Amino acid sequence: MGYYPEVILSGRRINENMVTFVANKVVKMLINKNHVIRSARLLILGITFKENCPDIRNSGVVDIFNEFKEFGTEVSVYDPWVRHLEVMHVYGIEMIEKPEGIYSVVILAVSHHQFLSMDIRGLVGNSGVVFDVKSALTKENIDGRL
């Protein structure tokens, strides 16, 4: 019809650049806390499209996973709502059964109710970074958010 919806296209551009924005913010926070990026252990909480549902279609979390893999970090993904074999088949990502050990970074990507009751700060220790993509955690428990 010849009509170009600039507002919609602008919104799409912002969403597409959000992965780079998150990755850059997290990497800068790690550097400020004297972490070596290549040896950083990163945990992403959630891979579904939205909270408290098992739908993995159109998940933007996959792009965050891939971006951090390019940095050379060890990236783990935990999501109690998904079928692990489905995520492996669709995205080639091996899910973990549960978080273990101390991570350099924890990114809350999907605000499942299970995550909101977790001790996420305890997963990173004193020198780690907690980044809240969904703005679901209190400011006292995070290092950064969108």
In angstroms, the CA 48 to CA 80 distance is 10
pTM: 0.89
- Residue 26's pLDDT is 95
- pLDDT digits over 79-106, tens only? 999 999 999 999 999 999 999 999 999 9
**pLDDT band with cut points at 50, 70 and 90 for residue 20:** confident
CB distance 60 to 110 below 8 Å: no
- Nearest one of 54, 45, 56 to 110, comparing CA atoms: 45
- Residue 125's pLDDT is 86
Domains in the chain with CATH codes: 6-145 (3.40.50.720)
- Residue 77's pLDDT is 98
In angstroms, the CA 73 to CA 56 distance is 23
- pLDDT digits over 21-78, tens only? 899 999 999 999 999 999 899 999 999 999 999 999 989 899 999 999 999 999 999 9
User: Residue 128 corresponds to which tokens in the numbers above?
Assistant: 């780690």
